[in-house]
C-alpha cells in the first residue's frame, strides 16, 4: 500500500513538474515573441529616424533639385512646371467668375461673386456631376460636350444679378488635374490620362481649345481665362486673403507644392519676362527623391508592388494614400514573426491598402485609458478580436513612427522651398513673414501629423525665424482658387 502511495506521489509530482515546465515554456515563448515584436519596432524606429541634421540634408537636396528643374526640362526628378500664373489675386478683384474642376470621375461647376476691395467672397454656389463610365473611354468630343451641357444647365438656372454686363463674356478658371504641358495661362496640351480615363484622341490636344469648342456648340458665352493646377489654385486662394502667402502645400491622398519664384531665376523660361517679375512654379514635389530620405524595407517593398515603381517616392512616405499601408506592412511582419495577434496571421492583414490613413489617424488619436478605438478599428477592419492593451499600445507607437517621419519630411521639403526663395535667414530689417497656404485631408484631419509638421519647421528655422512662419488653411484651391485666378487674369481687368 505504501509503495502505491509513494508511486502516486512521484507520478503526481512528475505531472506537476511537467505542467509547470509547460507553463514556464509558454511564458518564455510569449516573452521571447514579445521581445521579437519590440525588436521589429525598434529597428523600424531607427530606420525612420529624422534627426534635425538629416532633415537639413533633405532640405538642401530639395533646393538643389529645384535649381536643376528650373534650369531645363527633364533636368531633375522635380518637374518644376511653369504655371504661367504671374498675376496672383490681390484681394481687390470684383465681379462674378466661374470655375470648372475636373479632377477625376466627378466634376464641379462653381460660381463665385467677389466684392472688390476688401469685399472678399460675397456669394458662392456649385453643382456637382459624375462622368458616366462610357465617356471616360469614349471620344474627346463626347466628354467635353457632356461637361459643357452641365455648364450650360448651371448658367441657365442662375439669377439675373449674375448676368455679365452687355459686351462681356463670362470668365472661367479650369482646374484640370491630369498631366499637361502648359503653354500659356489659358492653354495646355494633355500628356496622358490617369485615374481611369483613356481617351486617345485628346492626348496631344489643347484641353482649353476642346472645352471652348464644346461651349461654343452649346452657345455658352464664356471664355477660359486660366488653366489651373489645384496646388496653384490653393496658392491663389491663400493670396486672396493674405498678401504674404508665397508657398502652397497640399497634403491629402497625394502631395504637391507650388511657390512664387522670381522670373529671372528660371533659365528655362523663354521669351519676355512677365511685368510682375514673378512666376508661380508647380513643383510636382511628390516625385522628389534623395539618398538622404530615410527609407525602410517596407517602403521599398510597397514601391515595388505599386503601379509606378521608382516614381513618387516622396509622396509614398509623406501622403495619405500610403501611411496606413506602411503601418499594415509592419503589423503583418510582427504577426508573422512575433505572433502579436495570436498563433494565426489574420487573413485580412494580408490585404494591401485595407488599412487606410483615416483609420490610422483615429488609432493614433485614441486617448481612452484602454485604447478602445484601437481595439475597435483592429476588430472592424482586420477582424482581430481580443487584443491586449500591450498590443494596442504597440500599434499606437507604430502610428506615431510612421506619421512623425512623414510630417517631419514634409517640413524639410518646405524648408527647401524657403531656402530656394532666400527667406531662411533673418534680414537686417528683421525676419520676413512667410505664410504657407495648406490644404488636403491629411493636413486638415490628422492633427498629430499637422502639429508635428508645423513644430518641426519652426524648430528647423531656429528661434530668430520662428515668429516669421505662419500656416494658413486655404480650402478648395481646385474650385474657389480657380475662380480667383480667372478674376486676376481677366481680360477686363483694366476696365475695373
CA distance 77 to 377: 38
CA distance 30 to 34: 6
Element holding 484 (H helix, E strand): helix 482-488
Within 13 Å of residue 453, how many CA atoms lie on the same side as its CB? 27
If you ran DSSP here, which 8-state letter would residue 478 be given?
A: I
From the candidates 177, 290, 478, 488, give the one annotated as an active-site residue: 177
CB proximity list for 229: less than 8 A, separation 6 or greater = 81, 83, 175, 177, 256, 258, 282
Tally of CB atoms within 10 A around 372: 11
**SS3 sequence of 122-177:** EEEEEEEEECCHHHHCCCHHHHHHHHHHHHHHHHHCCCHHHCCCCCCCEEEEEEEC
Q: Do residues 119 and 94 touch, judged by C-beta distance below 8 A?
A: yes
From the candidates 86, 230, 303, 424, give the one annotated as an active-site residue: 230
Check if 192 is active-site: yes
Check if 86 is active-site: no
CB proximity list for 5: less than 8 A, separation 6 or greater = none
Nearest to 341 by CA among 374, 304, 389, 384: 384
CA distance 487 to 496: 11
| CA 393 remoteness from chain centre | 27
Check if 177 is active-site: yes
Nearest to 181 by CA among 40, 79, 107: 79
Residues involved in catalysis: 177, 192, 230
Amino acid at each position: 500500500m505504501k509503495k502505491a502511495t509513494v508511486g502516486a506521489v512521484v507520478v503526481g509530482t512528475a505531472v506537476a513538474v511537467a505542467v509547470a515546465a509547460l507553463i514556464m515554456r509558454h511564458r518564455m515563448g510569449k516573452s521571447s515573441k514579445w521581445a521579437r515584436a519590440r525588436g521589429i519596432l525598434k529597428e523600424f524606429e531607427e530606420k525612420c529616424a529624422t534627426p534635425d541634421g538629416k532633415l537639413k540634408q533633405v532640405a538642401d537636396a530639395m533646393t538643389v533639385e529645384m535649381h536643376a528643374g528650373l534650369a531645363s526640362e527633364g533636368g531633375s526628378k522635380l518637374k518644376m512646371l511653369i504655371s504661367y500664373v504671374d498675376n496672383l489675386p490681390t484681394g481687390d478683384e470684383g465681379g462674378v467668375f466661374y470655375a470648372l474642376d475636373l479632377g477625376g470621375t466627378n466634376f464641379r461647376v462653381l460660381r463665385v461673386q467677389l466684392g472688390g476691395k476688401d469685399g472678399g467672397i460675397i456669394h458662392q454656389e456649385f453643382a456637382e456631376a459624375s462622368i458616366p463610365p462610357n465617356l471616360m473611354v469614349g471620344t474627346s468630343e463626347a466628354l467635353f460636350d457632356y461637361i459643357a451641357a452641365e455648364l450650360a444647365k448651371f448658367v441657365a438656372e442662375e439669377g439675373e444679378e449674375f448676368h455679365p454686363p452687355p459686351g462681356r463674356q463670362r470668365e472661367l478658371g479650369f482646374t484640370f488635374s491630369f498631366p499637361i504641358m502648359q503653354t500659356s495661362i489659358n492653354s495646355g496640351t494633355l500628356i496622358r490620362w490617369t485615374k481611369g480615363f483613356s481617351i486617345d484622341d485628346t492626348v496631344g490636344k489643347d484641353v482649353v481649345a476642346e472645352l471652348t469648342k464644346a461651349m461654343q456648340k452649346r452657345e455658352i458665352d464664356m471664355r477660359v481665362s486660366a488653366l489651373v493646377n489645384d496646388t496653384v489654385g490653393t496658392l491663389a486662394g491663400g493670396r486672396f486673403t493674405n498678401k504674404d502667402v508665397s508657398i502652397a502645400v497640399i497634403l491629402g491622398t497625394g502631395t504637391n507644392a507650388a511657390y512664387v519664384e522670381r522670373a529671372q531665376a528660371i533659365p528655362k523660361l523663354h521669351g519676355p519676362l512677365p511685368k510682375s517679375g514673378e512666376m508661380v512654379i508647380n513643383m510636382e514635389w511628390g516625385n522628389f527623391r534623395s539618398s538622404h530620405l530615410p527609407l525602410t524595407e517596407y517602403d521599398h517593398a510597397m514601391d515595388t508592388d505599386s503601379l509606378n515603381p521608382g516614381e513618387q517616392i516622396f509622396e509614398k512616405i509623406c501622403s495619405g494614400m500610403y501611411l496606413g499601408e506602411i503601418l499594415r506592412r509592419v503589423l503583418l511582419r510582427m504577426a508573422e514573426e512575433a505572433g502579436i495577434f495570436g498563433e494565426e496571421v489574420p487573413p485580412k492583414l494580408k490585404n494591401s491598402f485595407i488599412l487606410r490613413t483615416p483609420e490610422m489617424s483615429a488609432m493614433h488619436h485614441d486617448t481612452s485609458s484602454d485604447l478602445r478605438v484601437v481595439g475597435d478599428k483592429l476588430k472592424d477592419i482586420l477582424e482581430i478580436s481580443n487584443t491586449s492593451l500591450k498590443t494596442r499600445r504597440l500599434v499606437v507607437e507604430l502610428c506615431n513612427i510612421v506619421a512623425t517621419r512623414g510630417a517631419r519630411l514634409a517640413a524639410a521639403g518646405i524648408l527647401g522651398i524657403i531656402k530656394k526663395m532666400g527667406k531662411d535667414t533673418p534680414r537686417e530689417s528683421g525676419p520676413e513673414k512667410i505664410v504657407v497656404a495648406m490644404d488636403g485631408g491629411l493636413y486638415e484631419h490628422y492633427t498629430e501629423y499637422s502639429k508635428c509638421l508645423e513644430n518641426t519647421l519652426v524648430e528647423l528655422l531656429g528661434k530668430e525665424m520662428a515668429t516669421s512662419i505662419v500656416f494658413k488653411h486655404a480650402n478648395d484651391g481646385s474650385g474657389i482658387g480657380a475662380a480667383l485666378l480667372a478674376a486676376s487674369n481677366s481680360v477686363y481687368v483694366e476696365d475695373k
